[in-house]
Amino acid sequence: MARVWIPPLLRDLTGGRETATVPGANVGELIEALEQQFPGVRGRLCPGGALRPGLAVIVDGQVGRLGLLETAGPDSEVHFLPAIAGG
């Protein structure tokens, strides 16, 4: 199961928990699994069914390019961070 790092501003929904280990083959499935444990997470991360604008998912240190379809392995580490735009 992948280890998801809960963004600090989302921890009001997780009782302060910093990480959660949840099942899922891709980011969308991981968020669904998080939603089961912590209702409200999905709406905050994916309003309208897609990742919140300006938010990026990082899987194993790499910026995800497929959004919710980004695959995650059983030992993956997943972060949700502000998207980077360079100059």
Distance from CA of residue 14 to its chain's centroid?
13
Calpha distance 71→59 (Å, rounded): 8
45 interacts with another protein by CB under 8 A = yes
Residue 65 or 73: the one with the smaller Cβ distance to another protein is 65
Q: Which of 54, 51, 53 is nearest to 68 (CA)?
A: 51
Length of the chain: 87
> Which residue of 63, 69, 71, 72 would you call a contact of another protein, by CB under 8 A?
63
69 interacts with another protein by CB under 8 A = no
| Positions in the binding site for another protein (CB under 8 A) | 5, 7-10, 12, 18, 43-45, 47, 52-54, 58, 61-63, 65, 77, 79, 81-87
